Structures are given as C-alpha cells and as structure tokens.
C-alpha cells in the first residue's frame, strides 16, 4: 500500500518556513534602501508568492554592482599614465554642470562643432563618411548592432579600415546585440578587429544576474577627433533608407575637446568589459577648444546618484521660459513628475511628446496613467502618430539641451548604463527647437476635455503603473 500524503503533518512546517522566510527577505529588501512604495511592493510580492516572487526578485529586482570603485580607481588608474593633463575637473562651471561634475567626475568641456543628425539615414551617412577618413583608430560602442542591411555595410567598412592598419575596437551589449552570429563576426575578427562584450551571458549569471544592467550607450570615436553619440543604434529598425516605418530618432556628431571625455567613457567601459587598459598616447590628440559648452553625462547602476536623472530634474527646476521633453518611454518618478508639473504651474511652456504607438505596450500604458496629473497642472501632452518616436531630448529655455541615449523612465535612470550630453548653445537649441516643432506638427495633442478612454483601458493603464519600477 502506497503511503498517503499527510498534509496536516506538513502544514505546520510550511507555515514555520514561511514565517521565517518573510522577515528574513523583508529585512534584506529593506536594507537595499529603495523607495518605500517599491520596497513594500517587493515585500508583499515575496510574501504572497514565496518561490515565484523570490525568483522574480533575484533576476529582475533592484540590483547594484560594485563598479563605481572599479571604474573610478582601477579603470582610471590604469589610464592615468596617458591621460592628458587637462582632463581634470573644474571649479568654474555653471550650476547644472557643477552638479553633473560632482556626480560623474566628468568635467564640463567644449565643442568646436556639433551637428544635430535627424534620423538614421542622415546618421549612418555621416558615420560612414567619418569612418572612411579614419587613420589611426576607431572605437564603437553600441547597445544594438544587427546583421541586416544597415549593420552589414558598417561591418564591411570596419573590416576595410582594419585591413588598412586602423585599430578598430567594437564594444557590444550581449543582450541588445544577441543576434550577431559567429559567421557575421568572422570577417571582423579575421581582419584584426577587437570585439568586446558587455555583460556576456554566462552560467554565473544564475547566481549574480545582470539582466537589467544593459549598456545602452552609443559612442563612436574616430581618431580621437570626431565623436558620435545619441539614441540611434545600428539596425534597419532605425534606417529610413531601407525601412519606411523606421523609428524617428536623434544623434549628434561632435568635434572639440568634448571628444576626449567621450573617449574616456569608452575606454573605461572597454576596460570594464575586457580587462584591457588602452594606454596608447595617440588616442589623445591635441584638444580643440570651442565656444559651445558641452558636458558628457555617463550614468548607470554603478552609482546611486542617477546623474542624468538629477541633471534633467535640475535643468527643469532652473527653467525660466519653457521645458520641451521628447521621449519614447515616459515613466517618471516622483521627483521628475513634480519638476514638470511645478514648472507648468509656474507658468512655463511645458510640453511632453511621446509616441502614440510605442513598441512597448506596458510602457505606453504606464505613460497614459500620468496624463491626468500632467494636464491638470498645465503640462501639454502630445502623441506622435506617424511611426515610433525614439528621440530622447530635453530643451530648456533658449540655450540648454540634453540629448543622448537615456529615456525618461526608471530603467534609463537607474538600471541601464547610459550616456547623454548637456549642451549650452543658442544655435544648437534653435536647431533642436525646429526639429521638435516639426515633430509636434505630426502629433495629436491630448486635451483634458477629450472623451475618457473605456473603463477597462483606464484600469489597465493604472494597474500597469504599479510596475513602473521594472519598466
């Protein structure tokens, strides 16, 4: 006779284990010092779903990696012998830049020339032109690099330069560029291109997962003299030349001393990902000083200070006339939300532009849950209708711009490694204003008097908002 399952005997043991498990896990989560609402949400989830909740928390919960010391000591120390003497912080800078410098240890710099590139077609054309002129080195860092009609020609251009003797280094995110096969990479490796992977997928991830900690930066350095950065990846999804429904996005081409700080950002990431410190003095050609203030803003889970988040919030607080924000993913925290609504209630022209149809249903639903509060405060909300809006830019008053890889959401501010630029220049601000006006012309403005969405949609939007720490 088979033994029967004795639930009554097992029940007290399970209850006892649960009673021990909940306070231990609650204490662990409390010691992470996250926002009270997020902390309580995780504790309730772990209590209600002990094993499933524990797995979700392990792989997707709030994590920090001890990279700050490694980045500021090991990486910087390994590069010190060849760092230019002028690559130091400054005591003489504007308030927002002073904040950025304190958080990032990247000093304000300058640019001789900055070109605002609208769309992938213009960006890829400028990128290929710059690559063709490379003589010593090419450094590229991307989140997404696809083996498609956009990625293949770029790969071939890098192969050609490597065969000419140019040192080519390519740093890719292991998740964003997961579609790159060995066959696709073989010509690069055969030509001598050095390929590094940021947080590659390994078995040790089961114990120390880094799923959320992606390298979302886009950086290209050509001979230490020309740089590209912004929001555009290497993919047909962002190339109007091959895809009429390509994402609408922005990028920057830069010259001047700001290139040195972008070079430093790449070298630190390269050292972190590969363990190799690049000490070639030819990586640091003579700096060209310009009149445009430019400040590189690296941000990531290696620091608790959320540099891009703080700089954007501070710039909004200091605004006198207007705040125009364009972002594909809008999931603001309390500080960012209060900054936007307070600016509107001060009488400023505050506009938020988001896609009408995003590539993330959950993020779009969460964004809609904030509309009522924004509209009630006087913020104007616009939905871009033609295609996916992927631009990430902030325009403040007549001279301040923030452009880069970071979205206006928790993931960009806290989980991803991002890089944006803080730029002060009336000419560039006017260019960005014209681009934003062209975008606004293709938007539908959301009005407080619009018929309310169906109840079930509003319920779904508000419920999705609860997931905002993960979005």
Place of tokens 């325009």: 395
The answer for 347, left when phi > 0, alpha when psi is -120 to 50, beta otherwise, is left
Phi, psi of 294 (to 5 degrees): -135, 135
> What positions carry a catalytic annotation?
216, 218, 223, 390, 392, 397
Which residues sit opposite 142 in a β-bridge? 172
Which residues sit opposite 293 in a β-bridge? 110, 424
Helix (H) or strand (E) holding 310: helix 307-317
End-to-end CA distance of the chain, in Å?
53
C-beta atoms surrounding 51 within 10 Å: 9
In angstroms, the Cα distances linking 24 to 46, 174, 339 are 11, 34, 37
Pairing state of beta strands 418-424 and 349-355?
unpaired
Q: How far apart are CA 296 and CA 110, in angstroms?
A: 10
HEC-encoded secondary structure of 371-405:
HHHHHHHCCEEEEECCCCECCCEEEECCCEEEEEC
Q: How far apart are CA 30 and CA 36, in angstroms?
A: 9
């Amino acid at each position: 006779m088979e033994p029967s399952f004795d639930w009554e005997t097992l029940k007290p043991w399970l209850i006892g284990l649960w009673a021990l498990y909940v306070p231990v896990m609650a204490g662990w989560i409390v010691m992470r010092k996250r926002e009270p609402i997020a902390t309580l949400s995780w504790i309730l989830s772990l209590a209600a779903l002990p094993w499933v909740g524990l797995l979700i928390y392990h792989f997707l919960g709030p994590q920090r990696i001890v990279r700050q010391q490694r980045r500021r000591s090991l990486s910087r120390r390994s590069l010190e012998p060849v760092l230019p003497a002028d690559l130091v912080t400054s005591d003489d800078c504007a308030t927002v830049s002073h904040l950025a410098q304190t958080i990032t240890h990247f000093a304000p710099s300058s640019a001789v020339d900055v070109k605002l590139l609208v769309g992938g077609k213009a960006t890829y054309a400028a990128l290929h032109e710059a690559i063709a002129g490379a003589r010593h080195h090419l450094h590229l860092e991307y989140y997404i690099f696809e083996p498609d009609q956009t990625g293949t020609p770029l790969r071939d251009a890098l192969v050609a330069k490597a065969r000419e003797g140019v040192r080519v280094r390519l740093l890719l995110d292991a998740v964003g560029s997961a579609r790159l096969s060995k066959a696709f990479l073989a010509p690069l490796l055969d030509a001598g291109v050095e390929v590094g992977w940021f947080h590659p997928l390994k078995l040790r991830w089961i114990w120390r997962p880094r799923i959320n900690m992606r390298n979302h930066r886009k950086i290209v350095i050509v001979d230490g003299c020309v740089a590209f950065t912004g929001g555009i990846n290497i993919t047909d999804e962002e190339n109007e030349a091959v895809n009429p429904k390509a994402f609408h996005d922005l990028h920057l081409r830069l010259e001047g001393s700001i290139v040195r700080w972008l070079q430093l950002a790449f070298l630190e990431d390269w050292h972190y990902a590969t363990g190799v410190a690049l000490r070639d003095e030819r990586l640091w050609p003579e700096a060209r000083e310009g009149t445009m203030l430019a400040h590189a803003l690296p941000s990531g889970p290696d620091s608790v200070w959320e540099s891009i988040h703080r700089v954007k919030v501070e710039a909004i607080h200091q605004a006198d006339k207007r705040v125009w924000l364009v972002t594909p993913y809008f999931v603001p925290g309390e500080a960012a939300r209060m900054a936007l609504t307070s600016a509107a209630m001060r009488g400023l022209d505050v506009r938020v532009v988001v896609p009408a149809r995003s590539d993330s249903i959950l993020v779009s639903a969460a964004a809609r849950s904030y509309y009522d509060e924004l509209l009630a405060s006087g913020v104007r909300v616009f939905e871009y209708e033609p295609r996916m809006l992927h631009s990430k830019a902030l325009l403040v008053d007549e001279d301040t711009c923030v452009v880069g890889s970071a979205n206006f959401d928790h993931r960009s501010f806290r989980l991803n490694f991002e890089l944006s630029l803080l730029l002060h220049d009336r000419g560039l601000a006017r260019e960005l204003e014209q681009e934003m006006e062209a975008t606004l012309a293709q938007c539908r403005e959301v009005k407080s008097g619009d018929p309310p969405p169906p109840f079930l949609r509003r319920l779904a939007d508000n419920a999705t908002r609860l997931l905002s720490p993960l979005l």
